[in-house]
Chains A and B, each alone.
Chain A
Amino acid sequence: MKYATRYILFLTLLVLLPFLAFVHLSIGQVDFSIEEFFSSFLMSGENQMKDIVLQKIRIPRMLMALLSGASLSLAGLLMQTLFRNPLAGPYVLGINSGASLFVALSIMTGIPFFTTDLSLVSGALIGAFLFGMLVLFFAKIVKNQISLLLIGLMLGSFTSAIVAFIQSVSPSEDLKIFTLWGLGSLQKVNIEQIPYIFMFIWIGITSALLIIKSLNAIVLGEQHAKLLGINVSNTRFIIILITAVLTGITTAFCGPISFVGLAVPNLTRILFKTQQHKILIPGTLLIGGIFILFCDIIIKLLENHFIIPINVLTSLIGAPMVIWLVLKRLK
Chain B
Amino acid sequence: MSLKTKDLIIGYHSPLLHVEDFTLDTGNIYAIVGRNGSGKSTFLKTLTKQIQAISGNVFIHKKAISTIPLQNFPKYISFVPSRFPDTEYIRVEEFIAMGRNPYTNFFGSLTREDLKKINHSLHLLNISHLKGRFTTELSDGEKQLVAIARSLTQSTPYILLDEPTAFLDYPNKQNVFQLLKRISIQENICVLLSSHDLEQVIKITSKFLLVNKEDKIIHFENSIQQVEDIVSKIFI
A223 & B81 in contact (Cβ 8 Å cutoff): yes
Tally of contacts, chain A with chain B, CB under 8 A: 66
A2–B94 CA distance with the chains assembled, in angstroms: 13
Q: Which residue of B lies closest to A276 (CB)?
A: B94
Q: Which residue of B lies closest to A273 (CB)?
A: B89
A56 located at the interface, meaning its Cβ lies under 8 Å from any Cβ of chain B in the complex: no
Q: Which residues of A contact B222 (CB under 8 A)?
A: none
- Docked complex: A1-60 residues within 8 A CB-CB of B: 2
- Using C-beta atoms within 8 Å of the partner chain, give the interface range for chain B: 20 to 34
B72 located at the interface, meaning its Cβ lies under 8 Å from any Cβ of chain A in the complex: yes
Pick from B87, B104, B107: contact of A219, CB below 8 A: B87
A229 & B98 in contact (Cβ 8 Å cutoff): no
- Chain B nearest CB: distance from A238 CB in Å? 14
Q: Which residues of A contact B132 (CB under 8 A)?
A: 2
- Using C-beta atoms within 8 Å of the partner chain, give the interface range for chain A: 20 to 34
Q: Which residues of B contact A170 (CB under 8 A)?
A: none
Q: Which residue of B lies closest to A215 (CB)?
A: B108
A190 located at the interface, meaning its Cβ lies under 8 Å from any Cβ of chain B in the complex: no
B43 located at the interface, meaning its Cβ lies under 8 Å from any Cβ of chain A in the complex: no
- Chain A nearest CB: distance from B93 CB in Å? 11
A254–B211 CA distance with the chains assembled, in angstroms: 61
A154 located at the interface, meaning its Cβ lies under 8 Å from any Cβ of chain B in the complex: no
B177 located at the interface, meaning its Cβ lies under 8 Å from any Cβ of chain A in the complex: no
A217–B132 CA distance with the chains assembled, in angstroms: 19
- Docked complex: B75-118 residues within 8 A CB-CB of A: 78-79, 81, 85, 87-91, 94-95, 98-99, 101-102, 104, 106-108
Q: Which residues of A contact B134 (CB under 8 A)?
A: 273
Pick from A216, A220, A226, A230: contact of B85, CB below 8 A: A220
Q: Which residues of A contact B22 (CB under 8 A)?
A: none
A2–B102 CA distance with the chains assembled, in angstroms: 27
Q: Which residue of A lies closest to B78 (CB)?
A: A227
- Docked complex: A180-212 residues within 8 A CB-CB of B: 210, 212
- Docked complex: A293-326 residues within 8 A CB-CB of B: none
B89 & A275 in contact (Cβ 8 Å cutoff): yes
B73 located at the interface, meaning its Cβ lies under 8 Å from any Cβ of chain A in the complex: yes
A236 located at the interface, meaning its Cβ lies under 8 Å from any Cβ of chain B in the complex: no
B14 located at the interface, meaning its Cβ lies under 8 Å from any Cβ of chain A in the complex: no
20 examples of A-B residue contacts, CB within 8 angstroms: A212-B107, A213-B107, A224-B98, A226-B70, A228-B102, A229-B70, A229-B73, A229-B74, A229-B101, A230-B71, A231-B70, A231-B71, A273-B89, A274-B89, A274-B91, A274-B94, A275-B87, A275-B88, A275-B94, A276-B94
**B interface residues (Cβ-Cβ under 8 A, vs A):** 48, 50, 70-74, 78-79, 81, 85, 87-91, 94-95, 98-99, 101-102, 104, 106-108, 132, 134
